[in-house]
Amino acid sequence: MKARIVSTGAYLPSKILTNLDLEQMVDTSDEWITSRTGIKERRIAHEEEFTSDMGLKAAQEALAQAKLPPEKIDLIIFATHTPDHFFPSTACMIQKELGAKNAAGFDIQAACSGYLYGLSVAKSFIESGAYKNILLVASEKLSSIIDYEDRNTCILFGDGASSAIISNEGAGLIIPHICLGSDGDQENLIKLPAGGCRKVASKESVDCREHFLRMEGREVFKHAVRRMEQAAIECLEHEGLTDADVSWLIAHQANIRIIDAIAKRFSIPADRVYKTVHKYGNTSSSSVGIALHELLLDGNVNEGDRLLLVAFGAGLTWGAALLEKNSNG
């Protein structure tokens, strides 16, 4: 039995933060941001709009597309590192809103690799026969942990959510293989220093702005290209495939230069590399799911097409997933 993605969803908040807006906030320029990252604008959630709200909207779209009643969901996996609360889990919060009464639910935290980690867990549960229908949601309100006085990071990130229903039958995208990896030796490269039990929230931690994301961008860049390339090779080799068998590449939408570097290493033509980074920036765990959803909506994925998804994030964590379009169920 092969797990398959039978539907997808996405949600982006309506408020747009452009590079020109950022020029008014920190010492930066549209020219610098565009040439170094490819980002032109990103979406920012409303003050009263949270990770669970965005995830809920993405989930509702995937459920509607699959024509699946919420009671038929067996499990909700919610990938986020900007949850509404430490607990209860964001999965349980959307379970209530969806009315998914028969589902178990939990959150997973693999930073920007969350969608692929979640997909891997869903695939395993389906293929073990434990569950029939799993709702995967990846959602981030990154604007809640971004320091809008730090030009190194505030220009990069945006808010958004994506989702997928993974089932044991039906037409969709079969998931032949997923590879995951992590390297805790590099845990300091992207970090939220305070707010956990190691450094609890205090006046001092707030004064030191330690509740905002910190990143060593240049170092992360090098690891990102190397690790996503390595994961992609491992994934393709496992299936006896090469880059020539890949119809579409969807890489974590962190930086256009990272995406282009990976595509170049695989000789994947530019028009087969799907990008949303220019309009949404880096939406962390939700990024590859949003791109996948939009690619499918464009209608350019044909029977037998193979999609290669790669992601990378804090931890460090990374992953690659191979998907194959199969309309026959």
223 tagged catalytic: no
| Residue 319 sits in the site that holds ligand UT7 (CB under 6 A) | no
Among 110, 258, 273, 323, binds ligand UT7 (CB under 6 A): 258
| Residue 28 sits in the site that holds ligand UT7 (CB under 6 A) | yes
Catalytic-labelled residue, pool 235, 252, 255, 293: 252
Among 60, 147, 217, 265, binds ligand UT7 (CB under 6 A): 217
In the chain the first and final C-alpha atoms are separated, in Å, by 11
23, two tokens: 């020029």
Sketch the per residue contact string, 284 through 313, with ligand UT7: x for CB under 6 A, - otherwise: x---------------------------xx
Distance of CA 142 to the CA centre of its chain: 12
Among 221, 233, 243, 326, binds ligand UT7 (CB under 6 A): 221
Please answer whether residues 201 and 195 qualify as being in contact, where contact means their C-beta atoms are separated by less than 8 angstroms: yes
Please answer whether residues 159 and 80 qualify as being in contact, where contact means their C-beta atoms are separated by less than 8 angstroms: no
Residue 161 β-bridge partners: 11, 139
Nearest partner of 282 among 257, 319, 303, judged by Cα: 257
CA distance 191 to 237: 32
Among 59, 110, 165, 224, binds ligand UT7 (CB under 6 A): 224
Among 19, 90, 255, 317, binds ligand UT7 (CB under 6 A): 255
What minimum distance in Å lies between the beta carbon of 215 and ligand UT7? 6
What minimum distance in Å lies between the beta carbon of 224 and ligand UT7? 4
Percentages of the chain per state (helix, strand, coil), in multiples of 5: 40, 25, 35
Residue 16 β-bridge partners: 43
| Residue 282 sits in the site that holds ligand UT7 (CB under 6 A) | yes
| Residue 276 sits in the site that holds ligand UT7 (CB under 6 A) | no
Angle at 76 between CA 73 and CA 78, to 5 degrees: 155
Q: Helix or strand or coil: residue 306?
A: strand
| Residue 139 sits in the site that holds ligand UT7 (CB under 6 A) | no
In the complex, the residues that contact ligand UT7 under the rule CB under 6 A are 28, 32-33, 36-37, 112, 151-152, 155, 190, 217-218, 220-221, 224, 254-255, 258, 282, 284, 312-313
Q: Which residues are catalytic?
A: 112, 252, 282
